[in-house]
Each structure stands twice: as C-alpha cells, then as structure tokens.
Structure 1
Amino acid sequence: MKPTNHTDVSEFVLLGLTEDPELQPILFGLFLSMYLVSILGNLLIILAVSSDPHLHTPMYFFLSNLSFTDICLSTTTVPKMLVNIQAQSQYISYTGCILQICFVVDFIGFESCLLAAMAYDRYVAICHPLRYTVIMNPQLCVLLILLSLLLSTGNALLHSLMVLRLSFCGDLEVHQFFCELAQVFKLACSDTLINNILLYFVSGLFGGIALFWVIFSYTQILSSILRMPSVEGKHKAFSTCGSHLSVVSLFYGTSFGVYISSAVTDSPKKAAVASVMYIIVPQLLNPFIYSLRNRDMNRALRKIISRILLSLMVSPALNLFSLNESK
C-alpha cells in the first residue's frame, strides 16, 4: 500500500465509542450533561476562590489552577465529540488532530505537576507549620505554576512535532473519541520506534517524578501526623489532606486503569470506553470532591451560589418594576 505523506493527509476518522445509531442520542445527552456539570462545577470553584478572601491561600490558588486545567482538558475533547455525534460525522482535520494531541498531553502533564505542587503545599503546611507562610510565599507559588506550565508545554510540543514527521497510509481510523497519541502512532506507515520511545520514556519520567514526589510528601505527612499527641490534631491534619489525596488517587488510578486495560484487552472499543475514565470522569468529580470534603470550600460555594440565585431573582423583579414605572 502506498504511503501518504503527512502533507497529503487532510483528515482522520474518529470512530468514537460506538457506531450504533440508536445509541448516539443517548451518548450525546450523557456527555453533554457531564461536560456542562464539569464546566459549571470547576467555574464555581474558581469563582469561590477568587471571591472569598479566606481562600486566598496557596492551597486554593493551586486548586483554582487545577479547575481551570480541568475545564481546558474537557473542552479539548468533549465538544468535538458532541459536534460529530450531532452532525453524524466522524471526521477531524489533520491540523485539528495535531492540536488535540498537543493540548491533551499538555493539560494532562500540567495537571500532574499541579497535583505534585499541591502535595508539596500540604507537606509544608503539616510538617513545617511555623514556616508555612515563609516557604509558600506568592513568588514560589507563581514560580511552581510557571515551571509546571513550561515543562508540560515542552513535553506536549515535543510529542506533537514528532507526529509531524510521520507518514500515514490506508484508512486513517482512530479507535477513540479524540486523537489519542498512541492510537495515531498505529496509523503511521513510517517507523514509529523513536516516537514510542519518547512517549513512554519522557511521559513515564514526567509523570513518574510527579508521582514520586506525591508519594514522598505523603510519607512525610503521615509520619508527622502519627507523631502528633492529640487526636483532634491528627483529625484536622488528615482532613486538610483528604480532598487532595482523593483527587490524586482518582487521577493516577484512572490513568493506570486505562493503561492496564489497554494492555490486556484486544478490543479497541473497550479501550475507548476506558479512556473516558481518565479524560472526562476526574474533571467531573474533582469539584464535588473538594466541595463535599472541605468545609471552607463548601461555605464559599454556598455563598457564591446564593449570590447567583439572588441576582437571578432580583433582576427580573427590577425589570418589572422599571416597566411599571415607565407606564
């Protein structure tokens, strides 16, 4: 079969989760609901952190960045899938596919770095509480964000540029609902050895260092908590880490679960369904985890929701009053 150079490739085919036309409306409604809830929940987290002075701390600064990343990651994949379902089309342009690869790798890497930075924040807060404000100063927090963004963007650009050197042939069918890097490699006619080495080595190193730091931080945190004399102090320390530890477990648990399922199953459809667990579900659940398990966030969210509801109720009343006055 004659290879097609990447300059001749105009589009890829996203096979999605199913080709059954009867299931398409159900999938559209399900993923639209999940997307809207995810966007709304993460936007509320950002609004709550920015509007409540009590939440202007390093932990919530990192949390607002995590929520922004979750919004970006969901928006990179879900809207295109919804458009394809609604238009009964499975196509994505070559440029769109490359951009999707770049943004997905970028935001997943950035989220991994953010979780490591949040683990360091909890480590300093519990193990060095008297020096917390000195160590976790605003300059360090901004530096950690910029460094995380630089590393994740560099990693994403590396993988995206390496895709540009590949040639493709045959039916360019991606067995996913988005352009997943490993799936695109399988469509190439040219040698992908270097690409696969970079994918597993760089991504493994990138994510491995972040995961190692999270584990190291919580090892030190657990050791410090066990040395606390009071039960109340232990409970308070555990409660400050509970939400972050849940988010970390969800992020890495779903990622490892998808990797294992992809390795043991030969079904592309099952692998595509499993990918939902790391590309959509964590972004959906993170706001609920932080709002339900964190009293300060819960209180701030109630305030912001009350303001929104009050403004929605007052605005029509004012408009009606103005209309009556004009008469």
Structure 2
Amino acid sequence: MQSVKLNDGNFMPVLGLGTATVEQDLCDKAEEITVTAIEIGFRHIDSAYVYNTEEQVGKAIRRKIADGTVKREDIFYTSKLWVTFHRPDLVRPALEASLKKLQMDFVDLYLIHWPLSFKPAEDPFSSNIGDCFTPDTVDLCATWEAMEKCKDAGLTKSIGVSNFNHKQLELILNKPGLKYKPVCNQVECHVYLNQSKLLTFCKSKDIVLVAYSALGSQRICGTWLKENSPILLDDPVLGEIARKYNRTPAQVALRYQLQRGIVVLAKSFKKERIKENFQVFDFQLTPEDMKTIDSLNRDFRYTEPAHFKDHPNYPFHEEY
C-alpha cells in the first residue's frame, strides 16, 4: 500500500476504508466489512465516535492481528472528536472513550470532526448525540491545544482536522505557541466538488487533503444529505473514461483523487465493491483525462447538515 509522509513524520496510506453509516443494520456489519477490507489489503481504516462503529471496527482489527494477517503497526486508524466534546476538559475523555470501544492503546490519527462546538448534555458520554445541537462558544485554538496534549500523552500519533475551510485552518496555523500543525484536513471531495482551491492552500501549508464521499453519496439521510442528489457514478463522462481503461466509474473517480495527491476514503459495505475499490494502483489516467474530469466540477456538496448552518463557525459559507 502506498503512503504519504505527514508533516509530523508519520505515514498515512493513501487509500482508506470509510465506515460512516446512519443505518443500524450496517453498523452491525462493520466488523465483518472491516475484516474483509483488511484481508483484501486495506491498511487505513477511518471511523469516528459519532459513527457508532468503533466497537465493531476494533473487534475486526484485533481479529486480524490475532490470526497473524497484520500487526498493530500495519494498521492506520483514524477517529474523530465529536462537536459536543470541544471543551478542552472533554477532549481527552472523548478520545479515551473511543479507545475503550476500540480496545486500543492509541489511534494513529485523531481529528476535530467539525469546526463547530455544541453544548454537551449533562452526561455527554451517555446522551443521545443527535439531541445536542445548541451552539457553544468554545475557542477552536483551546480545543487544538487539548488535541496537542493527547498527542503528547501518546493517545494518538497524529492530529488533524475535518471540514475546516482555509480561514479556520489559518486560525490554527497562526495560533500563538502552536506546537503541532494539523497533518490533514478531511473534507468532502469528489469529481463534482474537486476542492481545487482548498487543495492548493493545503499543499502550500504541508497539510494533506483527505477526501470523503469520494464516490458521491446516494443514500438520503434526513438533514445530512440533499434530496434528489445526482448519482455521481452514473455520470456519462466518467463512464466513458472508465470504458476506455476497462475500469469502473468508481475506480476512475478514486484514481483521479490519488493522482492529485489526495488521500482518498472509499466507503462500501459490499465485499465485491470493497475489492473493486482497492484495485486502483495498476493504471494511470492521462493528463487529458484528468483535465476532462476536472471540468466535471460543479461545486456540489452532498453533505450539508441543516442543523449546523446557523452556527457562527459553519465552514461552508466560505468559498473554500
């Protein structure tokens, strides 16, 4: 598996398995799906506290370590700090809660999931996550300092952010006394939202861009996804390029991101698709095909959580 060197000296595999889902039956399948992905060759597993899959994913990783398929150091595991845990005194307990579910001593990467803070319930670790959407005024820089302490404590090897715009990244980068830069910014990125300006900015700061929803998002999940969203993998131009290489549109969409220097997450809960998504290292798109795919950009977001839009730190009011 190819890897990219992060600005703190650690290495991240360029292709990862995404495990986000809002459907309980798929949460229950996360263990077997993760086992399958590791057997196929995936070494980068992306999850989060809010996904409700960490217990199952942790079991899968331990199973494959126990049977000798991998060692712990072969796996790059990402977790994320949810929006109700931004208060500095909650950051480490939140990471420790994920580690307890995973039954791990550390994660490889811990991200601030959104640049938005919401007031936690009286007991933030037992409340219904979806009920806690009263905006809070936690200083992002204070949250970042607590993230740095988690790295110093050995609970995570690297720290980064997710869904940050360039101004929010600059806020962290310009923080007085900054100890560690974010190693990455994980954002929605696909051929309909190619994030070219944010990518250029991140590269200039030695921050890796990590793409989620790289194949689009077809499920309609209440306030998280727009209804009547276009099905990215049905795009005729993508299909034409895929036929040229005797590949699938998904493989072309993933390959496109890899050739741009983006780390890409591929999410599927079907074994045949997981195997297909891994087969993206043995062909190369031409510069002409890359330009053609660039032209498909329409700045379209699948993920725009309606209950976040009134928050003062909502990131998508900025162009990038």
TM-score range, shorter chain: under 0.3
- Greater RCO structure (CA 8 Å; 6+ sep): 1
Report which of the two structures shows the higher radius of gyration computed on alpha carbons. 1
Which structure features the higher share of strand residues?
Answer: 2
More helix as a share of residues? 1
